Amino acid sequence: MKKEIFITFLILTSEFIFAQSDLIQTTLYLKNKSKLIGNLKSINNGVYELQLKDSEIIMQIPQSEVKRIVQNESYKFRTQAPYEFREKGFYNITSLKVNSGNNIYDQTSFGYGVETVTGYMINKYLGVGVGVGYDYYGEESYKAVIPVFTEARGYLLGKEKAYFYSIAGGYSWGLKDESYSITSAPGGWMFHPALGIRFGAKKHFNTSIDLGVRLQKARWIHEPQNDWLKSSEKQYFYKRFVIRIGIQL
């Protein structure tokens, strides 16, 4: 009985002193040689209620199983952020990306790009949007295109860390380059499926990373300045692995 009165006094005192944000850390040493650490909430009918450290879990431990109790100095009690991700409504995702694949010489080539997508989530599992970007596929200046596309995306599993899919398709226009005598760049179609992970469940500024495959048709027309040279057309079919890192607003 004296032990219960003493512990109750400690609880009331700690709640008064550390009511703002700090809590007294309590360690319960059990008779089975294990220990539990957290915030001692109350004692009712010989049962300790202990909120485990850095957790929302509250355990009930009979006093008969407790060997001794130690209370240490205060500490910050971390709580789990609320789930506020907008499963329905408008969204915007801006991504930086790198791509890799074999070029026409069967050598590994690297590129980079950026894109932004704005759309509407119908529900957690399906959203549709439109986007625009810039993709550079290699060392030569004419291996850059401007894609305009539509996408579908959805979140399949998880909350704070959610797994998602995205499927994009559209058309990319090439960039002219007079230094290469490129007077026309009709471009070609584009298709990009991907799987990824979203980190965070806030209303704004969640980050994501995904891995996908970019299939891109493109062509450029060369018009030589010399009259005795004929115009020519170069066609490419890029097949690249793409990693994107995005921020969702």
Task: Yes or no: say if 216 and 240 are a contact pair by the CB < 8 Å rule.
Answer: yes
Q: Quick: pLDDT tens for 228-242.
A: 556 677 788 889 999
Task: Evaluate if residue 113 carries a pLDDT over 90.
Answer: yes
Which stretches of the chain are assigned E, i.e. beta strand?
22-30, 35-44, 47-52, 58-62, 66-76, 89-102, 108-123, 126-136, 144-157, 161-174, 182-184, 188-199, 206-222, 232-248
Please name which of 245, 187, 192 lies closest in space to residue 214, comparing C-alpha atoms. Answer: 192
Better-predicted residue by pLDDT, 12 or 219? 219
Better-predicted residue by pLDDT, 76 or 121? 121
Buried b (16+ CB within 10 A) or exposed e, 164-174: bbbebebebeb
> Domain segments of the chain: what residues?
2-76, 89-248
Q: What is the pLDDT, as a whole number, of residue 112? A: 94
Give percent of the chain with pLDDT exceeding 70.
80
Q: What is the pLDDT, as a whole number, of residue 20? A: 40
Task: Evaluate if residue 59 carries a pLDDT over 60.
Answer: yes
**CA-CA distances (angstroms) from residue 176 to 117, 221, 223, 230?**
25, 9, 11, 18
Q: What is the pLDDT, as a whole number, of residue 15? A: 46
**CA-CA distances (angstroms) from residue 70 to 7, 30, 46, 133?**
10, 12, 17, 59
Dist CA 185 CA 142 (whole Å): 9
What is the arithmetic mean of pLDDT over 57-61? 86
The dotted CATH code for 89-248 is 2.40.160.20
Q: Quick: pLDDT tens for 79-88.
A: 556 778 888 9
- In the predicted model, what is the mean pLDDT of the chain? 82
Dist CA 246 CA 209 (whole Å): 6
Q: Given this chain, do its domains 2-76 and 89-248 carry the same CATH topology?
A: no
Dist CA 178 CA 144 (whole Å): 14
Q: What is the pLDDT, as a whole number, of residue 75? A: 53
Dist CA 62 CA 42 (whole Å): 12
Which of 4-13, 75-84, 222-231 bottoms out in mean pLDDT, i.e. has the lowest? 4-13
pTM of this structure: 0.65
What is the arithmetic mean of pLDDT over 111-136? 96
Task: Evaluate if residue 55 carries a pLDDT over 50.
Answer: yes
13: three-class secondary structure by DSSP: helix
Q: What is the pLDDT, as a whole number, of residue 76? A: 53
Topology of domain 2-76, per CATH?
Answer: SH3 type barrels. (2.30.30)
What is the arithmetic mean of pLDDT over 112-118? 96
What is the arithmetic mean of pLDDT over 58-64? 87
